[in-house]
Amino acid sequence: MPPSLVQDLESDSLLSLTQAQVGCDFQIRRLEGPGCDQLRNLGFCESIQVRKLANGRNLICSVCGTRVALSSDLADQVKVEPTDS
């Protein structure tokens, strides 16, 4: 399979952090959008584990042992997949 096709299939299986279920752990796979630098400054980097704690006006999650509130616009730019743990 060509590498670009593999990446497209992988991308289709990812969820945004906004779509992810509360109370579950996820691994960050990709940051996409204009807020990527801001997200990285907050500790959201590829391969980091994140737990979604709450939905609401702002989404609350735990990353690197710290609770962080994100707007839904920023959370949409965080692409995750569920972890096995």
Distance CA 9, CA 48 (A): 21
C-alpha torsion sign, points 19, 39, 58, 34: negative
17 within 8 A of 29, measured Cβ to Cβ = no
pLDDT in tens, 3-36: 554 444 455 689 999 999 999 999 999 999 999 9
Fold adopted by 3-82:
SH3 type barrels. (2.30.30)
Indicate the domain borders of the chain.
3-82
pTM of the model: 0.81
Nearest to 48 by CA among 34, 66, 33: 66
